[in-house]
């Protein structure tokens, strides 16, 4: 359930009492028709709130927390655990780290985080949602989330496959796993790491703390998953081509 329009308008009036809807749309880059539609339907997307909050130079996390469905978001802030941090590192950055740790004969520097290694690309990455859930899953997480929210497991899986997760589900997942609330919001791209209050070097530090064995195994898992996805895409492309060839 997105934010109720009434509460949203109340919030908007509180934070920008003098701004017109047109002003709000102009500074936040939201289309007027989009905002109008969301207000008419009575449901405002969290991304809308975050864009406006960002444009007003406020804290999107604190503003989200001011809504009923997100209460508790900023109470007892819990920093992301190392596994969550590593899950938000793109697969290619992990592979780059593997190479960078290898001996110079293979193009590496033989150490951790050399100054020559390019900085990590910003979260989220192409499979960040699924990797985040995998990182905090104890094997029963999906069942608990589904029991707590009433979302069918296959719908939940479909969202993960599409690298999407609604903010409510992200928060519910974090709650069910007993981790901080910000991990899911960063993984889904709703908030940036900075907005979520993560330390700037937190992901790099978590990566550096991985042993060579852990890093290599993790990179291998990611590579295998990537291979599966690519093969499926290739298969679908092949099928589409066959349809065009015969029926197009």
Residues that bind another protein (CB under 8 A): 232, 236, 239-240, 242-248
- Which one, 103 or 246, has the nearer CB to another protein? 246
Give the integer Cα–Cα distance in Å for 206 and 97. 12
* Main-chain phi, psi angles of 150, to 5 degrees: 80, 10
What DSSP state is assigned to residue 106? Answer: G
Q: What is the token pair recorded at 171?
A: 């928060």
109 touches 173 (CB < 8 A): no
From residue 148, alpha-carbon distances to 52, 62, 161 in Å are: 30, 24, 21
Nearest distance in Å: CB 161, another protein: 9
- Which one, 78 or 239, has the nearer CB to another protein? 239
- Which one, 111 or 238, has the nearer CB to another protein? 238
Nearest distance in Å: CB 134, another protein: 21
Counting beta carbons within 10 angstroms of the beta carbon of residue 75, is it exposed (0 to 12), middle (13 to 18) or buried (19 or more)?
exposed
Nearest distance in Å: CB 117, another protein: 33
Nearest distance in Å: CB 158, another protein: 11
Which residues face 43 on adjacent strands? 4
- Which one, 65 or 225, has the nearer CB to another protein? 225
Nearest distance in Å: CB 34, another protein: 22
Within the chain, residue ranges assigned H as helices are 5-15, 21-28, 32-41, 46-55, 60-65, 82-87, 91-101, 128-136, 141-149, 153-161, 167-177, 182-187, 202-209, 212-247
- Which one, 1 or 247, has the nearer CB to another protein? 247
- Which one, 107 or 248, has the nearer CB to another protein? 248
Nearest distance in Å: CB 236, another protein: 6
């Amino acid at each position: 359930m997105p934010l109720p329009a009434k509460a949203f308008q109340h919030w908007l009036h509180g934070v920008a009492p003098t701004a017109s809807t047109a002003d709000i749309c102009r500074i936040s880059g939201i289309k007027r028709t989009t905002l109008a539609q969301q207000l008419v339907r009575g449901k405002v997307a969290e991304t809308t709130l975050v864009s406006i909050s960002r444009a007003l130079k406020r804290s999107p996390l604190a503003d989200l927390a001011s809504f009923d469905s997100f209460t508790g978001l900023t109470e007892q802030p819990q920093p992301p655990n190392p596994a969550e941090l590593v899950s938000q590192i793109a697969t290619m950055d992990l592979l780059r780290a593997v190479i960078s740790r290898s001996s110079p004969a293979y193009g590496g520097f033989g150490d951790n985080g050399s100054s020559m290694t390019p900085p990590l690309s910003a979260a989220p990455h192409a499979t960040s949602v699924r990797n985040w859930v995998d990182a905090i899953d104890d094997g029963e997480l999906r069942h608990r989330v589904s029991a707590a929210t009433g979302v069918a497991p296959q719908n939940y899986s479909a969202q993960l496959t599409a690298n999407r997760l609604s903010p409510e589900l992200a928060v519910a997942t974090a709650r069910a796993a007993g981790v901080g609330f910000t991990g899911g919001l960063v993984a889904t791209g709703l908030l940036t790491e900075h907005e979520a209050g993560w330390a700037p070097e937190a992901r790099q530090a978590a990566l550096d703390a991985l042993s060579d064995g852990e890093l290599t195994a993790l990179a291998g898992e990611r590579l295998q998953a990537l291979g599966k996805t690519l093969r499926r895409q290739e298969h679908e492309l092949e099928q589409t081509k066959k349809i065009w060839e015969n029926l197009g």
